[in-house]
């Protein structure tokens, strides 16, 4: 297994109290696999991705669990070891490329910087490779664009630069955090096609963080559903949509527009995410759940139908099959 997250718990210390952002989160990702992580805003998707990369906010504290990359425990590794991994073995595409890119440095220089840090190349080789990467992500006239600054490029072009930057050293793991946010539909499809193509070429694993279930259904092998810092269900994509077992997953799917449904037919999820400060119930979805029973006030049961499917619920949909 390339990436293994086991029972990860993380909190933020703030002026208004301790925010328990992740609790007992477990995920795994194999080489060449695309795993989607979906859920409402505030469910902990980006917090998880930052924790894996080792770039969490200084106010964050990991209170339990482990993150292993090819057997190496990232939480106990020293800073130098993590610096060697980031950019070379593990890379990330951030939500907003305009804020992630350096605004006062040409984009070609930014790609070359990564290659000089991790690629073992000369300055001339790094410059040529940067132009090659821009061409690989289908940016027209890459020699000229390499000299451009981020503000001189469109949102879609900046996202392509971010992909080139992330993939410059041929990482084994790519974390794509909402990689198509703010882009038009045509550009979204082109960006995702590009990521898939490059992943196939190098057998790269991809962790796709998104709130778009349609995108996850189309692009992912497996999907993990998060709610309020918990992973509530993990399943192969086709099985998840055909037979959701966690009540939250079913509600989330019901909010997703489909060709066969009208806007009036969409069903909102009742209530809102709980306040993650102070005491929290074992099941953080219980207050919103129509299937709640007295048993739900105890620790949620992790039901497992087979090695690829888990559900954290004491009263799952079609529970007899779980």
Taking all residues of the chain, what is their mean pLDDT, rounded to a whole number? 90
Closest CA to 179 of 168, 169, 164, 170: 164
Q: How confident is the model at residue 261 (pLDDT cuts 50, 70, 90)?
A: low
Name the pLDDT band for 79 (thresholds 50, 70, 90). Answer: confident
Determine contact, residues 128/71, Cβ cutoff 8 Å: no
Predicted confidence band of residue 306 (pLDDT cuts 50, 70, 90):
low
**228: Cβ–Cβ under 8 A, 6 or more apart, which residues?**
42, 43, 44, 273, 274, 276, 284, 285
What is the C-alpha end-to-end distance of the chain, expressed in Å? 24
Q: If pLDDT is split at 50, 70 and 90, which confidence band does 303 have?
A: confident
In the chain, what percentage of residues exceed pLDDT 70? 95
Average pLDDT over residues 243-269: 82
pLDDT of 320 reads 46
Question: How many angstroms separate the CA atoms of 52 and 144, rounded?
Answer: 35
Residue 173's pLDDT band, with cuts at 50, 70 and 90, is very high
Structural domains of the chain ordered from first start:
3-89+171-259+266-311 (3.40.50.300)
């Amino acid at each position: 297994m390339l990436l293994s997250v086991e029972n990860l718990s993380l909190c933020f210390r703030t002026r208004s109290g301790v925010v328990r952002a992740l609790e007992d989160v477990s995920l795994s990702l194999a080489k060449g696999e695309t795993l989607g992580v979906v859920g409402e805003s505030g469910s902990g998707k980006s917090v998880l991705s930052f924790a894996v990369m080792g770039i969490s906010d200084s106010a964050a504290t990991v209170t339990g669990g482990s993150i292993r990359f090819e057997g190496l425990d990232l939480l106990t590794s020293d800073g130098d070891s993590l610096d060697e991994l980031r950019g070379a073995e593990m890379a990330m595409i951030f939500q907003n490329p305009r804020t992630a890119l350096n605004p006062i440095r040409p984009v070609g220089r930014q790609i070359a910087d990564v290659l000089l840090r991790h690629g073992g190349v000369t300055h001339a080789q790094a410059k040529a490779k940067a132009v090659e990467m821009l061409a690989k992500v289908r940016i027209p006239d890459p020699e000229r664009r390499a000299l451009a600054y981020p503000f001189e490029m469109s949102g879609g072009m900046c996202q392509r630069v971010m992909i080139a930057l992330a993939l410059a050293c041929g990482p084994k793991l790519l974390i794509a955090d909402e990689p198509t946010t703010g882009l038009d539909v045509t550009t979204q499809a082109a960006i995702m096609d590009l990521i898939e193509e490059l992943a196939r070429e190098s057998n790269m694993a991809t962790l796709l963080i998104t709130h778009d279930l349609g995108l996850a259904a189309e692009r992912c092998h497996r999907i993990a559903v998060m709610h309020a810092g918990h992973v509530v269900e993990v399943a192969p994509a086709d099985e998840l949509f055909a037979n959701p077992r966690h009540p939250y997953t079913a509600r989330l799917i019901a909010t997703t527009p489909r060709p066969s449904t009208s806007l009036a037919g969409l069903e909102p999820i009742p209530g809102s995410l709980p306040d993650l400060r102070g005491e929290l119930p074992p099941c953080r979805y219980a207050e919103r759940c129509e299937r709640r029973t007295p048993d739900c006030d105890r620790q949620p049961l992790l039901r497992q139908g087979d090695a690829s499917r888990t559900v954290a619920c004491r009263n799952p949909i079609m529970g007899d099959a779980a």
